[in-house]
C-alpha cells in the first residue's frame, strides 16, 4: 500500500476518533449521570456494544497505519515522529482497555453510580487530549510527506 494512502487513512481515522472523543467527553459521558431509571444497567450495556461498533474499526485502522509508518517512515516525516505516533496509539489503547472499559463494565453490572461516572469523565481527558494530539500529528505527517 502506498505511503500516501496510509497517511491519508491514518489522518482520517485519527481525526474521526478525535471528533468522537470530544463528543463523548463533552456530551455523552456527562449525560450518563441522568440515566437513573430501573433500566440503567441495560442502557449502559447497550451503550458499550453500540459505541464499540463505532470506534473499533477506526481504532484498528489507526493502529495498523501507525505501525506501518514506523516500518516505512515517509520522507519528510522521520522515524522518531512515527514512533511518537505509535506511542500515542499505545497510550490510548491502554487507557481504553485498563481504565475506561473496566469503568464501563462496572456501570453495566451496577447501573447508575455517580462516582464511577465522575471517574469515567475525569479519566477520559487523557484520551481526549491524546486523540487530539494524534489527529494533529497525523495531519502534520500528511502535510510533511506531501
C-alpha cell, 15: 481525526
CA nearest neighbour of 107 among 51, 52, 40, 56: 40
pLDDT value at residue 38: 87
Positive or negative CA dihedral for 123, 124, 130, 136? Answer: negative
pLDDT at 37: 86
Give the per-residue pLDDT at 135.
Answer: 98
Positions of the chain with pLDDT under 70: 1
Which residues, 6 or more positions from 49, have their beta carbon under 8 angstroms from its beta carbon? none
Max CA distance (Å), the chain:
57
- What does the pLDDT read at residue 27? 96
Q: Which residue has the cell 506501518?
A: 68
Q: What is the pLDDT of residue 50?
A: 96
Q: Give the pLDDT of residue 1.
A: 61
Amino acid at each position: 500500500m502506498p505511503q500516501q494512502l496510509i497517511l491519508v487513512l491514518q489522518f482520517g481515522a485519527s481525526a474521526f476518533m478525535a471528533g468522537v472523543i470530544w463528543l463523548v467527553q463533552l456530551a455523552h459521558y456527562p449525560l450518563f449521570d441522568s440515566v437513573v431509571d430501573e433500566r440503567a444497567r441495560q442502557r449502559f450495556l447497550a451503550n458499550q456494544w453500540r459505541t464499540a461498533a463505532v470506534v473499533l474499526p477506526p481504532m484498528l485502522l489507526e493502529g495498523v497505519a501507525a505501525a506501518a509508518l514506523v516500518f516505512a517512515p515517509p520522507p519528510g516525516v522521520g522515524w522518531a515522529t512515527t514512533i511518537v505516533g505509535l506511542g500515542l496509539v499505545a497510550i490510548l489503547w491502554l487507557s481504553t482497555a485498563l481504565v475506561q472499559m473496566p469503568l464501563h463494565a462496572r456501570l453495566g453490572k451496577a447501573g447508575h453510580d455517580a462516582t464511577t461516572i465522575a471517574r469515567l469523565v475525569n479519566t477520559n481527558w487523557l484520551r481526549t487530549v491524546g486523540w487530539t494530539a494524534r489527529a494533529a500529528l497525523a495531519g502534520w505527517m500528511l502535510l510533511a510527506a506531501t
